[in-house]
Each structure stands twice: as structure tokens, then as C-alpha cells.
Amino acid sequence: MQDNQVAERSIAPLPRNAAKGGNRNPAGSQQEVVPPVQVVEFLLGKEHFAVDLFDVKEVVEYTRITRLPNTPSYIKGIIDLRGEITTIIDLKEALAIAGADVKSEEDSRIIVLDDQITLSKTGIMVDDVLSVSTFQRSQVDSSLAALHKENTQIIGIIKKKIRIKDRDSTELIIWIDVKQLLKALEQGMKDISLTLDKIKSEVASGEQDS
Amino acid sequence: MATKASITNQKVPQENASLKKQCNELKQDQNLLLDEITRFHGLVNEGDTTATIPIKQFTGVSKKMVDLINGTIETYRTTTINQKEKIKKLADEAEKQKQFAYTMVMQNPQPQLIVSREMQIKLANEAFIKMSGIPAGSVTSMNLKSFKVLEKSGHNVREAMEKKKGVSGFVTVEFPSGIRYLEQHSIPMLDKDGNLVSLMTVYNDLTEKRRIEIAEKELTEFTSTYQATLGRNLSLLSNGDMNFDLTIPEANENTRKAAEEFRLINTSLTTVRNNLLALIKDTEMLTQASVEGKLATRADPSKHQGEYRKIVEGINVTLDKMIEPVEEAIKVANEYAHTNFAVRFDEKLSLAGDFIRFKESLNNIGIRVADAVTLVNKQVLDLAAAAEEANASIEEVASGSNQVAQSSSSVSANSEKGGVAMHQVLRAMDDLSATVSSVATKTEAISHLTREANNMSKKGSELAKRTEQGMEGITRNATDVDAIVKDIKSQMDQIGKIVNVITDLANQTNLLALNAAIEAARAGDAGRGFAVVATEVKSLAQESRESAENIAEMIGNLQKKSQAAADAAAEAGRTVKEGGSALAETLQVFNRIVSSVDEINQNIEMVAASTEEQAASVEEITASVNEVNALIQNTSKEAVDSAAASEETSAAIDQIGKIIENVNTIVDRVSKEMAKFRT
């Protein structure tokens, strides 16, 4: 069901989609009203990105990341998040955003993804998390996604009205589909998941041994 | 008139019809008669002189009556016509008379006026209008009284009216044509009862006559005035006085012609005077020339005319005759003047009277002088010989005296030279003395100056010391500033740390807010209120972070500035240290100056002392020199006296020599001069 919803959303956001996603829409009873979009805005380099709020569980500060050997370059490593091993994906690496900025890794943030969309607990490392924002559907331009159907990682471009020095301006926010992204990275992720499972079981047996 | 009586109807007895008929016929006849008479009466009244009553209609008595009436009328008419003709004849006569009288007045060449008793002009004839220039139209509206009478004499119009008798008088009246002098005859015109009806005035215009009288009178007066002047002028001329009165009385139109003639007379008179004056002038000129001895001067006869020329020529001939002997005399005298007394008057000249005596006298002068000169020549030669001898003796005496004079004057010159030398020494000593005293004065001034310099350098030294103390203070202060700045810096660092903590807190708050927002959003409607709070918290956290960043920046700036202050203070300290060392050097220099000045002072005092000694010596020397000088001057004076005496002697001898020489010279000259005379 979730995959279906993502697919539909990526093609064309329609009012009836909102009705289908009624469990997530508090205003679902009003079928004619287009539900607004809630996203978490963040920075990668100088560009603004956004992910669906409901794909996010929380945002945490950077902690030391333990690197894993023999993993793709976009797998940053793992951290211990309140007792749970969490895989950290370097989103810049994954999205092939060139020119990693000078900002130190310590200032980064980790967006922990919702457990429902991941096999194992996963977080994506971003330069900074800005805010939780609500946009109207009309502010989302999906024409780019429609042109490049094969690239389904981008849902659309959100045109955010901002004021800079008393002048109206539009900031473009790239709304990416985390689930599609994870699907693309699936293989690597599966490997890691298996490895992690093995580690877990070993740890468990180790614990049993001891 | 009888026809005017009316005939009324009478009561006729009607006894018989014939009577009645007769009565009726009579009645009709009478009524017809009445009608005719009435008509006739009307015609006559209307002026119809030929009217008659038609007789044919009537018969009987009426016819007779009518006939009588017509006859009466005819008789009357005939009489009336005769009378009328007579009257007309008379009237014609009267008219003729009137016309005659009118013509008599109007055509009269004498101006005439007819005036009323009120003197209103009733008639003015043409002569009057012409004379007066009053327009014919307006003259009859004038009154005699309105004439402008300037002057009157004799009997006037009023008298004529009162006396009813013709009178005559004279009046001068100003008419538009000009002022007229008139003879006026007033003739009263009376009716047959002797009442004054009007008055006639007849005028005789005497204006022209009077003018000619005046002109003749003026001419006579003018001529007699000039004749008197002319008489006086001729009298002056006869007395040789040329100051003529050539004035001619001012002429008017009556005397202009006479004045012209008088002017011609005056011109002739002036010519006479000028000729006489020219003659007198030439005569005077010749007289003056004779007085001045210019006998060659002559007058020009051509300037004179007639008899005057003869006079001048006569004078010229007289002068020619006089000049010959005079010129000969001049020639002879001139020869005498040139020492030629051998010459004599030319015997060929024919002389007469006084001129012969003149010739003899002149010749005698030559003869006598020649004799005298011969005698003088001889005596001068004798004198020359004597003078020569005297001269020789005197020259001998003079040479002796000269030798004495030379010796004493050389003594005098020497002692004078000595005196001059002594003077020079004295002046030198005076100069020396002055120099010494000026040295003393100067050393004193220098001493004063060095004392002042000493004081100044001591003061300077003190000031430098004080400055040094000040510098030390500054150094101390700079150090203090440095310490304070360091303290500030450490405190700033502390603040920086605190700011970092705040930033951290803000960051974490931000993150918490973000997560809270996420949670709230996920909670849907239930979390909406919390979402607002989360957003608020987030923005607060954001603000806190920004404030903290600002503070950090400020602190950074402050740290930089305080560092700069510290640096400046350190620099100041360094500079002060350098200044301190410079000051120390200055102090040393001052001290050196003080010691140098002291030394100078000592030296100068020594100089002053020696200068005083010098001055004393100079005075002593001066005194000695003065003594010597007095001695020399004495010697000199005595030598001069001696020289003077011998010079006097020498001079006297010279004088004698000169006199003798003079005598010689004179004798020489006299003999030379005498040699010139030819005898």
C-alpha cells in the first residue's frame, strides 16, 4: 500500500490520493479539499531538500559514526542510537552531489527514518535540518518528475515563497522520495541488513555464551 | 358830413293810394339813397378818392341831393389835389434842401460830426472817418465823451451847447489812426425858437503842420548845438590844442541829414589835426635827434603834403648846412684823441660867424698840447735814471732780510711738526683709553649674560628633571593599562565560553523543537497545539543562537580593540623610555652648559680686572704726553714770533722794492706813452 501511494504521488498528486491516504490526513473527511503537504526541510551543500514528514521519525545530532568495511561508499557507517544500531546513509554521496562542502562532519544532522519504510533502522546524514514545513499542493511542481519517469527519486519541486531583504523571492526545494531512494539502494541495504542481522545474532549468542 | 345823417321811416297818412304810393316810392327812394350813401361812405373811408354816388337811379329830390353831394365831393376833391401838389412841391424842396445839407456835410473835405445834445454821434462825414480810422459802421454808436482826449485848450463843445454859440478850441485825440492834433469848431444847431437841437463839430487836422513845426525847431536846436561845439574846436585849434570835442548830438529822423554833414566836417577837422600832429612829431623827432647829437637824422618829407612838406624840407636843409663844420671838428678831435696833435681844421671849408671861432679854438688846442708834451718827455727821462739807482740798493737789503726769515720759519715748522706728532700720540692714547673702557663695559655685559645663561641652564636642568619624573609616571601608567587590558581580555574569553554554551544550548533546543514539531505533525490534529509551541521554541532557539553569535562577534571586536589599546600602551611605554633616555642626555648637556658658563664667567672676571689695570696705565701715559706737548708748543710759539718779526722786515723791504719797481714801470710807461705824441 505504501509503495502504491508513493507511485501515485510521484506521477500526479490528485485529490483522491488524499482520500486514499486518509489515515494520514486529519482532514480526510472533506474529500474535495486538497490536503497540504508536510515535509522536513534540510540542507545538502547549498541546496534545499525535503522529505515527507511521515517518512521521518526524528532528527538527532551527529555522533561518532563507526565505519563498516566492505560497504558501498554511500554507507557512512553505523551508530548506536539509544541502544539500537542505526545505519547511516551519506545522502550527498547517494545522490551524487558533488563538492562536499567544508562544513565539518560534526555539525551535520542525522534524520532518522520511520521504521515502517526501512528494513532496519536507518538514518540519513544531512548538512542541516531547517524546519518542519507545510505547503499547498499548488506550490509543488511535478513537471520535472513527469519528464524523467525513470528518475523517480524526485517527487517534485516545491516553490517556497520567502522574503529576503523586503523582496519576495522563490526558493526551490527538491522534494525527494526516500522510499524510492532506499529501493535504489536496496541491494546494499539488504547486505547491510543481513550483516547486521548476523552481528545481532552473534551478539545475542555471545551474550548467551557469556 | 351831411351824408352821415340817417333818415328814418316817417308815418305817412294813408288817405290816398297815390299818396301812399308816393310815400312808398319816396320811401324806396330814400332807402336806396341811404344805401348808396352808405356804400359811398365806405369807399371814401377805404381811401377811394375817385368814388361817386351813381346818379342815374335817382329822380327828383334825390337826384338833386345826389347831384349836390357829388358836386360837393368833386369840389373838395379838386381842392385836396391842389393842396397835395403844393405839399409835394414843398416836400421835394425840403428833400432837396436836406440832400444839399447832407452832401455839404458828407462831402466836406474837413472832418465833421453831428452830435446830439447828449453828445451821441449821429453823423460822421467821410473826412472824419478817414482821419480818425474809426470804421464807418461803428462811429454812429460812439459818444464824443468816449474819445480819448490827451490834451485840450480853448473853448469846447460843452461851452458851445451852454452858450448856444459857435466856439473854437484845440484838442489832441488818440484815434485808431494815431494821435491827432485838431482845431475844433463847435457849432450849435438851433430850431427857430432858439432851442438846441443838435451840434455840429468841424475839425481842422493840424497834426502834420505841428509835426513840421517840431521838426524845424529840433533841427535849429541841433544845428546850433553843433555850431557851438565847432566854434570851440576851432578856437582850440587856433590855440594849438588838438583835443577836439568831436561829439555830434544824438540825431533823430528830423536831424539825421544835418548830423551826416556835421560828421563830414568832423572828418576834415580830424585830418587837419592828424597832419599837424605828424608835422609836430617829425619836428620833435629832429629836435630830439639834434639834442642827442644825431645830426644825420632827417625827416621824410613825402609823409607830408602841401605847405607842411615845405616846412619839413626847410628843416632838413638847415640841418645839412650845420653838419659840415661839425663833422670836420669831429675829424680833428678824433686825431687829437689818437695823440696826433699835428693835425688842423680844413681851411677849404667855407665857414661863417660862430663856426670861424669854433675852428680857431680847436686848432689852438692842438698847438698848446704839442708844446706841453715835448716838455714832459724830457723830464720823464731824468726820473727813470734816478729810479734805476734806488732799485739796486733795495735789492741788496732784501736778500739779507730774507735769510733771517727763512731760518726762523724753519725752526717754527719743526716745532710745529713736533706738536702735531704729540697730538697724534695723545689721540692714540685717548683711543686706547676708550677701547679699554669699552672692553670693561663689554666684559661686564658678558658677565651679566653668562650669569643669566647660568640661571637659564639651571632652570632647564630642573625642568628636564621634572619631565623625567613625568615620563616615569607615564611608563607606570602604560604598564597599568597593559595589565587592565589583559584582564579584560581574559574576562572576554570567559564571556566567549559562556556564549559558546548558549549557542550549544540554542542548537540543542532547536533540534528538540524540530523533533517536537515532527512528533506534533505526526500526531495530527492532537499535536497541532504542540506544533505551534514547538515552532515558537524553535524560533526562540534560533534567536538565542543569533544573539549569541552577535555577542561572539562583539567580543571578538572588543578583544581586537583592547589588544590594540594594550599595544598602544606598550608602544607609549617604549616611547616614554626612549624619551627618558633623551631627557637624561639633555640633563647632562644642561649640566655641561652650567659648568662651561661658570668657567666663562671666571675668565671674564679676570679680563675685567686686567682691563682696569690697563686703564690706569693709559691715564698715566696720557698725563706725561700732555706735559711734553705743552713744552713743544711753547717752543713753537717762540719760533713763530721770531719768524714773524723777520718776515715783517722782509715784507717791508719787499714793499719798498715794489714801490721802486712801480716807479720804474711808471716811468717806462710814461716815456713810452709820451713817445706816441706827435708834436
pLDDT of B463-494, one tens digit each?
A: 777 877 777 777 787 778 778 878 888 888 88
Cα of A201 to nearest chain B Cα, Å: 32
Q: Quote the pLDDT of residue A13.
A: 39
Asked whether residue B97 is domain-assigned, the answer is no
* Within-domain flag for A134: yes
CATH number, domain with residue B143? 3.30.450.20
Chain B residues with CB inside 8 Å of A132's CB?
A: 514, 517-518, 521, 531, 534
pLDDT score of A74? 86
Query: Does B312 map to a domain?
Result: no
As a whole-number percent, the residues of chain B with pLDDT over 70 amount to 92
* Within-domain flag for B287: no
Do B82 and B114 lie in one domain? The reply is: no
pLDDT score, position B400: 61
Is B491 a domain residue? Answer: yes
What is the CATH classification number for the domain harbouring B551? 1.10.287.950
Q: Are residues B587 and B618 in the same domain?
A: yes
Q: How many CB pairs under 8 A join A and B?
A: 34
- Residue A109 near chain B (CB below 8 Å): yes
Looking at the structure of chain B, the number of domains it has is: 3
User: For position A182, which CATH number holds?
Assistant: 2.40.50.180
- Say whether both B173 and B71 belong to one domain: no
Specify the higher pLDDT residue, B16 or B169.
B169
Which pLDDT tens digit goes with each residue over A108-139? 899 999 888 887 889 999 988 988 888 998 88
Q: What is the mean pLDDT of residues B599-613?
A: 79
Pick from B189, B205, B221: which residue ends a domain?
Answer: B205
Identify whether the C-beta of residue A47 lies closer than 8 Å to the C-beta of residue A107: no
Q: Report the gap between the CA of B492 and the closest CA in chain A (Å).
A: 25
Residue A93 lies in a domain: yes
Pair (B74, B135) in one structural domain: no
Q: Are B485 and B565 in contact (CB under 8 A)?
A: yes
In a domain, A123, yes or no: yes
- Percent of chain A surpassing pLDDT 70: 74
A53 touches chain B (CB under 8 A): yes
pLDDT for B398 beyond 60: yes
B314-360 pLDDT, tens digit each: 888 887 777 877 888 888 888 888 878 778 888 787 777 777 888 88
- Helical H segments across B111-255, by residue range: 126-132, 136-139, 157-163, 207-238
Identify whether B576 is part of a domain.
yes
Q: Are residues B118 and B63 in the same domain?
A: no
Is residue B499 in a domain? yes
CA distance A131 to chain B (A): 6
CB pair distance less than 8 Å for B511 and A54: no
Higher pLDDT, B14 or B133: B133
Element (H, E) at B452: helix B354-522
Final residue of a domain: which of B159, B174, B205? B205
Output the pLDDT for position B86: 92
- Looking at B172, B188, B205, the residue that finishes a domain is B205
Q: How far apart are CA B450 and CA B461, in angstroms?
A: 16
Strand-pairing partners, residue B364, are: none
Q: Does A199 touch chain B (CB under 8 A)?
A: no
Sequence length of chain A is 210
- Tell if the CB–CB gap between B515 and A26 is shorter than 8 Å: no
Contact A131 B514 (CB under 8 A): yes
Q: Which three cell numbers stand for residue A145?
A: 518528475
SS percent in chain A: helix, strand, coil, step 5: 30, 35, 30
Please spell the DSSP secondary structure of B272-295, one letter per residue.
HHHHHHHHHHHHHHHHHHHHTT-T
Q: Please state which of the ranges B66-75, B444-453, B501-510, B530-539 shows the lowest mean pLDDT.
A: B444-453
pLDDT of A15 reads 39
Cα–Cα dist A81/A68, whole Å: 16
- Residue in A54, A59, A129 closest to B522 by CB: A54
Distance CA B607, CA B450 (A): 14
Nearest to A101 by CA among A84, A76, A126, A121: A126
Q: Which three cell numbers stand for residue B22?
A: 308816393
**B393-403 burial, b if ≥16 CB within 10 A, otherwise e?**
ebeeebeebee
Structural domain containing residue B666: 370-676
- Nearest CA among B203, B10, B198 for reference residue B101: B198
Q: Tell me: the pLDDT tens digits for B422-441?
A: 777 778 778 777 877 777 78
b vs e for A172-190, b when ≥16 Cβ sit within 10 Å of the residue's Cβ?
ebbbbbbbbbbbebeebbe
pLDDT, mean over chain B: 81
Helix (H, G, I), strand (E, B) or coil at A29: coil
| CA A137/CA B289 separation, integer angstroms | 161
Cα distance from N-terminal residue to C-terminal residue, chain A? 43
Q: What is the span of the domain harbouring residue A72?
A: 35-204
Q: Is the pLDDT of residue A176 over 60?
A: yes
Residue A41 — very low, low, confident or very high, per pLDDT cuts 50/70/90? Answer: very high
The verdict on residue A55 lying in a domain is: yes
**pLDDT of res. A39:** 92
Flag whether A111 is in a domain: yes
Flag whether A23 is in a domain. Answer: no
CB-nearest partner of A59 from B518, B522, B534: B518
Number of domains in chain A: 1
Query: Burial, B502: exposed, middle or buried (Cβ in 10 Å; 0-12, 13-18, 19+)?
Result: middle
Contact between B384 and B668 under an 8 Å Cβ cutoff? The reply is: yes
Residue A17 forms part of a structural domain: no
Decide if B269 is inside a domain. no
Residue A7: pLDDT over 50: no
Tell me, yes or no, whether A15 lies in a domain: no
Shared-domain flag, residues B152 and B78: no
- The answer to whether residue B593 is domain-embedded is yes
Highest mean pLDDT among B166-180, B373-387, B657-671: B166-180
pLDDT band at B87 (very low <50, low <70, confident <90, very high): very high
DSSP code of residue A165 = T
Question: Which of B387, B383, B579 has its CA nearest to residue B475?
Answer: B579
